[in-house]
Each structure stands twice: as C-alpha cells, then as structure tokens.
Amino acid sequence: MEIYKFFNYVALVFLFIFLLLRKWKSQKLKLPPGPWKLPFIGSLHHLALSGPIPHHGLTNLAKRYGPLMYLQLGEVDMVVISSPRMAKEVLKTHDLVFATRPKHMTYSDIVHYGSTDVVFSRYVNVVDFFPKWKFLHDLGGSRSRLLKVHSKVDQILEYVVNEHKQSRANGKMGNGEYGSEDLIDVMLRVRESGELQVPISDDNIKAIILDMFSAGSETTSTTINWAFSEMIKHPIVLAKAQAEVRQSLKGKKDFQQIDLDELKYLKLVIKETLRMHPPVPLFVPRECMEETKIDGYVIPLKGRVLVNAWAIGRDPESWDDPENFLPERFENSHVDFLGNHHQFIPFSSGRRMCPGMLFGLANVGQLLAQLLYHFDWKLPNGQSHQSLDMTESPGVSATRKEDLILIPAPYDS
C-alpha cells in the first residue's frame, strides 16, 4: 500500500509542476484572448460543447473572443484566425514563419507516407493534442485501423506505379491518352533525369497520387453539390445560369475550356458557392517556426495556426448580407481566386495555396455546364425549393447532411 501512495504522491507532484509551468508560460507571453481552460485538457471542452460542426463552433467562439483567438488543446497551443485582416497577417505578412505544417503522429505518418505529399491532409483525433502520450494512439486503436486501410490503398498505388515503370522499361514512354505522358510518367522521368536536388521516392509519387484522388475528387463533388443546392434553393439564379449556358453553347457537341470562359454568370455562381461553402472550411493547420507577434499578441514557437475559411467567407465586415446567396455581388468586383483578397480564400493563399486550384475550377465549371445544358432539374414529390434542407455534415470537407436528390429531365435543344 505504501508503494502505491508513493507513486500517487509523485504523480500529483508532476501534475502540479506541469500546471505551474503551463500557467507561468501563459503569463509570461501575451497570448491572444481565448476561453477559460481546465487542467490537462485546456480548452478542449469548449470544442466538445460547441456542437458537432467544428467551424461553426469556432466561429461562435470567435464572436466572443475575437478573430485572433487562443485555444490550449491539451498540450497543443492553437491560434484560430477568423477575419480577413488576421488571415493576411498569417498567409502573407508572416507567411514564411507559418510555411510549415505540424506533423500528425498517426494519420500523416501512415496514410500520407510520412507527410511526403503536397496537401498533407489531417483528421482531428483527440490524442493528437497530447503528443507526449504516444501510447494513447495504440490504446485507442486508431493506429491499427489506419494501418489496415493504408495497406490496402498502398497495394493499389504500388501496382499503378510499377505498371508505369514496366511500360517505360519496355520503351513505351507514355501511358496517357494517345500515348502522351501522364502525371506518373512525368514524375518518373524527372526522377530518372536527376534534375531535382531533392530525390523523388516511390512514396512521394504514391502520396501525390493519393492527393489527386482524395483531395481533388472530394472537393470537386462537394462544390458541385452545394452549387446545385443553392441554385435549386434560388430558382431565379438557376434559370439565369441555365439560360446563359444554353445560349452560349447552343449547337456545340463538345465544350472546350475556351467556351466555358464565356460563361460569366456561371463563374459568379461558382464564386458565391465557394464563398459560402468552402470545400475545406478549416485549412490544414500551420506551425509557427519562431515566436511571432501578430496584432500585439504572441504566437508561441511550435504553436499551430488554424484559418477558419468558413467564418471569413461570411464575415459581415467584408460582405453585405453574407448569409444570402447572391452571385451578383461578384459582378463588378476584382476579388478573385488567387489569394490576393483575404476576404475570399477558398483555396488559401501564399506559399501553401492549393496547387490544384485551376484543375478543380475547370472540373467544377465543366460539370456544371454539362448538367445545366443537357437537363432541366426539379425536386422530387412536388417538394418546394424553400423546404430544401441546407444543413452541413461534420467532417474535414463540409458536405451536405442530407443527400441532394433531384429529378433530371433531358433538354431537347
């Protein structure tokens, strides 16, 4: 019994010292304002109580504590950005300081080949807020589940890469349509040429392929889903977009990019969709490489910075009537997708801006134009457009909670 009392005493002493050091650190630094904290878990309970959709909960907290808000999430210092001005500080003014990304102990190591990809996606796991307690990953079972999934995905990607290697060895220099090189061929060729100072491994190639399929396809489908939801919800917008598409593309069997460039109103619809429904509402966290001051507050070394793009797109100081879907707001506006206007950053900004922006926009524009041109659309069972549920589902990508079910009627051109 005495030995148990001794260990309990030692544990209490260490906990007391830990709390004292944490308090001393926060008093020494002038951290941004934030909600009150509990021992050990910090501000995690505020996230748990703010609802199932994190970007909504963080937006509500930011209304109380400001657009530069500090959260202590377990052992992790987190600063949440919720306004264009603060986003500009992080993504442009101090972009080099925040250019790196924190290493995720389970997800990126296993699924994204040790963070060797471009996007470096993350999924929230509570144990990641306690990096010193590595055994929690094994106790929770998340590591073993991810390993099983990764093993299956890796087998498929390994087969694809090896198939390209074999084709090149046999003298076939391209696997793309009409014999041209595809992305994997290009990466293999660059690796063989030795042009890059940084070597490209098979894991790099597999991680980039995974990015193309996971990030590219999910965000495109999410954006199309929300664009159609908003157009169905606003029949005048739908009629206007459809009339433009059918007038501009009349008589054309195939739509080329040059044709889509003429669809001015459809571009406004896509912009407004991305303002209200950014496919990734919370950007992948960035890590502070050195202690930095923003707006008079200290961002600590190794602190993580999280940009809430959803909140920024609905900022009432930047947008008139931000909760209403109004494509015309962009009609005479110079705001674009390039990240130069920080009130509109669906693809982020600066050094870590989404590399697939142009690819994604082309996909969204092409698919929307095809669907609007060839079909008329209505809700089933006489459902009115006013009753369409626009609730979001929790997740990395802000998808609809309920599936969008529409009835297509072929258009006789």
User: Which residues sit in the known binding site for heme?
Assistant: 354
The C-alpha atoms of residue 253 and residue 241 are separated, in whole angstroms, by: 19
The pairing of beta strand 68-73 with beta strand 304-307 = unpaired
The C-alpha atoms of residue 194 and residue 252 are separated, in whole angstroms, by: 45
Q: Which amino acid is at 128?
A: D
- Cβ-contact 271, 327 below 8 angstroms: yes
The C-alpha atoms of residue 201 and residue 161 are separated, in whole angstroms, by: 11
Residues 109/110/111/114 CA torsion (nearest 10 deg)? 30
The C-alpha atoms of residue 287 and residue 104 are separated, in whole angstroms, by: 12
- Distant-in-sequence, close-in-space partners of 116: CB < 8 Å, separation ≥ 6: 201, 203, 204, 207
H/E/C letters for each residue in 341-364? CCCCCCCCCHHHCCCCHHHHHHHH
Q: What angle is formed at CA 367 by the lines to CA 365 and CA 373, rounded to 5 degrees? A: 95
In the annotated binding site, the residues are 354
**In 3D, which of 240, 250, 273 has the Cα closest to residue 361?**
273
Helical H runs in 175-308? 183-193, 202-233, 235-248, 257-260, 264-276
Tokens of 225: 């889903």
- Cβ-contact 279, 313 below 8 angstroms: no
